[in-house]
Amino acid sequence: MEKVRGFEIAKGWEDKGINLPVRKTKYSAGYDIEAAEDTVVPSFKKGMAPTLIKTGLKAYMQDDEVMFLFNRSSNPKKKGLVMANSVGVIDKDYYGNPDNDGHFMFAFFNIKDEDVLIKKGEAIGQAVFQKYLVSDDDKAEGERVGGFGSTSK
């Protein structure tokens, strides 16, 4: 079978019991993503960095596709979790990068007064694949040289 788009276990996570994402209903746009390990998301304090929740996953897709990471709709109210970047953008060339093999993570802040424990296997967000367009004068020729946050380098 030709690989078109999907998920794989990232290097270093092969023996950690990671579940590949699934859509729960026939018309769901998003694939439910689980936490790869127990993670404490501390209560927010000014100046702190977001907590990265590991997924143990990487995603492959076509040249004109992107994968968006979205928060679960219940996370802000029930757990106080908001995504630090609002929406995660995973580009095609993030897959297999030399820094982290394309392992994608969710960046969260906790707006509650108490720390929140995310358990391994708990659903933390959704991934949605999408086609994208480029402008007439697009001349992008650069190549990814690293992982998380490397496209501006």
For residue range 12-47, what is the model confidence (pLDDT) as tens digits? 999 999 999 999 999 999 999 999 999 999 999 999
Which ranges in 36-147 belong to alpha helices (H)? none
The residue with tokens 């304090």 is 45
pLDDT score for 70: 98
Low-confidence stretches of the chain (pLDDT beneath 50): none
Kindly report the pTM of this predicted structure. Answer: 0.91
pLDDT score for 140: 82
pLDDT score for 63: 95
Residue 110, Cα to own-chain centre: how many angstroms? 17
* Tokens, residue 48: 């702190």
Which one, of 60, 45, 46, 39, lies nearest residue 104 by Cα?
60
Which one, of 67, 68, 53, lies nearest residue 106 by Cα?
53
pLDDT score for 75: 97
- Could you please state the CATH topology (level 3) that the domain comprising 6-131 is classified under: Deoxyuridine 5'-Triphosphate Nucleotidohydrolase; Chain A (2.70.40)
